[in-house]
Amino acid sequence: MKPVVLKGGRIVDPSQNLDETGSVVILDGKIADAGASVLNQGAPDGAEIIDCAGLTIIPGLIDTSVHIGEPGAEHRETIASASAAAAAGGVTTIAMMPDTDPVIDDVSLVEFVLRTARDTATVNVLPTGAVTKALHGSEMTEFGLLKQAGAVFFTEGRKTIDNALVMRRALTYARDFGAVIAHETQDRDLASSGVMNEGLFASWLGLPGSPREAEAIPLERDLMLARLTGGLYHAAKISAAMSARAIRRAKDDGADVTAGVSINNLALNENDIGEYRTFFRLSPPLRAEDDRLAMIEALRDGTIDIVTSAHDPQDVDTKRLPFAEAASGAIGLETLLAVALRLHHNGDVGLLRLVEVLSTNPAKRFGIAGGTLITGAPADIAIVDLDAPWVVSEADIVSLSKNTSFEGARLQGRVMRTLVAGRTVFAQE
């Protein structure tokens, strides 16, 4: 493999607290050196030189909440199409949710995903394992064997484990293998038939609402169990201010907990639903503007560690329905970085911090290679024009499904090139 030099860009690497103009040298798919010190060194013999003047070089994004339809719903998204969408969005590693059909609750399914990814994907695709068999919420899966086979962490995907004892045992047992349990919480009874945030807006629309407490009550339970067991817990997608407060308290208590947020809950609020726009039916639901601002604050102050796209491809057959009957979810891999950059452009969150929550932190929390430009790390890199304006258009979407919440949105910041292990897997035309 030819050496590659990314020449003369702004290098932003939170893992080294680095933000300086410099170059990156890639040898054998790994970072050989990065920074200002290599700017004026000669390139290795026969190296491919990529001019990065005016561009920003960051470790590739690591997206830890990606739904893929393979196996079972390949018309929505395959591992190959999700990989292509990820590459277009500067995402070099995706953790794939286990709620496929069949569920990833067995070593053979983990192997299937890894094999399919090896044969068809250009970015790193990491399977996650179900916490319980068939996502039924009762019997634990084989954490040890699944982890050894390549499951990167354990989660129930969209589902919440209702039974506190099951959650306690899962946290306790997973700890023996150093495995993180990532959980999206929604109390089934309290959320009831709710399809959006409970409040005045839902009341006028005549739609059943789901209160914030439906998210926070099982979250508080989980956080208590994390304290009790010493287990590794990740609140996968929080959306409410009260959830952020709960996480903050648990962290103060020294529990081994982290929190994630969907980009949608940082960028949108319930008013975006407008007249029953089903592309804004999401899980967790879009909340009030106060909650959105609380998510940004929690991201800034370190309460929230990880931002995900919550990529969830849905077809017209599941979205072109009355709001309450439509499936929840939106795609997001291709827009994740540009939407996140809104927070940088409007001064809410610094660039280093943004890259940290999109790349460095998920790598650290889940033991994923990448998230850094340090010597020896895999050369998983996104090259970004931070200021380039563009408009999201359905026609340009790479993902097999087109259910974006950002159709027509004007974004600033474009992925120009994506490299995985030093190989260019996407380049903007």
Partner 1 sequence: MTAQAPFPPYPHRHLLGIKGLSPLDIENLLDRAEAAVAISRGADKKRATLRGRTQINLFFEASTRTQASFELAGKRLGADVMNMSVASSSVKKGETLIDTAMTLNAMRPDILIIRHSAAGAAALLAQKVGCAVVNAGDGAHEHPTQALLDALTIRRARGRIAGLTVAICGDVLHSRVARSNIVLLNALGARVRVAAPSTLLPSGIEQMGVERFARLEDALADADVVMMLRLQRERMAGAFVPSVREYFRYHGLDQAKLSHAKPDALVMHPGPMNRGVEIASAIADGPQSVIQEQVEMGVAVRMAVMEALLEGAAS
382: exposed, middle or buried (C-beta count within 10 Å: 0-12, 13-18, 19+)?
A: buried
Question: Residue 363 — left, alpha, or beta (φ > 0 → left; ψ -120 to 50 → alpha)?
Answer: alpha
Strands (E) located in 177-218 = 180-183, 196-197, 209-210
Footprint of partner 1 (CB under 8 A): 198-209, 211, 275-276, 317, 320-325
**What's the min distance (Å) between Cβ of 298 and partner 1?**
24
From start to end of 196-345, where are the E strands? 196-197, 209-210, 232-235, 257-262, 306-308
Quote the CA–CA distance of 347 and 295 in Å, as a whole number.
15
* C-alpha span between 227 and 252 (Å, rounded): 11
Nearer to partner 1, 150 or 211 (CB): 211
Shortest separation between residue 314's beta carbon and partner 1, angstroms: 14
Rounded CA separation 130/312 (Å): 17
Q: Are strands 423-427 and 410-420 parallel, antiparallel or unpaired?
A: antiparallel
Tell me whether residue 32 or residue 217 sits nearer to partner 1 (CB atom).
217
Residue entry with tokens 């009790």: 228
Give min distance, CB of 241 to partner 1, in A: 17
Distance in Å, CB of 186 to partner 1, minimum = 17
d(C-alpha 58, C-alpha 44), whole Å: 22
Min separation Cβ 218 and partner 1, Å: 20
Cβ closest to partner 1, residue 215 vs residue 222: 215
CB nearer partner 1, residue 107 or residue 190: 190
Question: Least CB distance from residue 238 to partner 1, whole Å?
Answer: 21
Name the one residue in this structure whose structure tokens are 């054998």. 28
Residue 394 contacts residue 387 (beta carbons within 8 Å)? no
- Backbone angles phi and psi of 203, in degrees to 5: -65, -45
Cβ 184 to partner 1 shortest distance, Å:
23
| Burial classification of residue 283, based on how many CB atoms lie within 10 Å of its CB (0-12 exposed, 13-18 middle, 19 or more buried) | buried
Which one, 203 or 393, has the nearer CB to partner 1? 203
- Cβ closest to partner 1, residue 206 vs residue 254: 206
CB of 217 to partner 1, least distance (A): 17
Q: Which is nearer to partner 1, 284 or 362 (CB)?
A: 284
Q: Which is nearer to partner 1, 106 or 198 (CB)?
A: 198
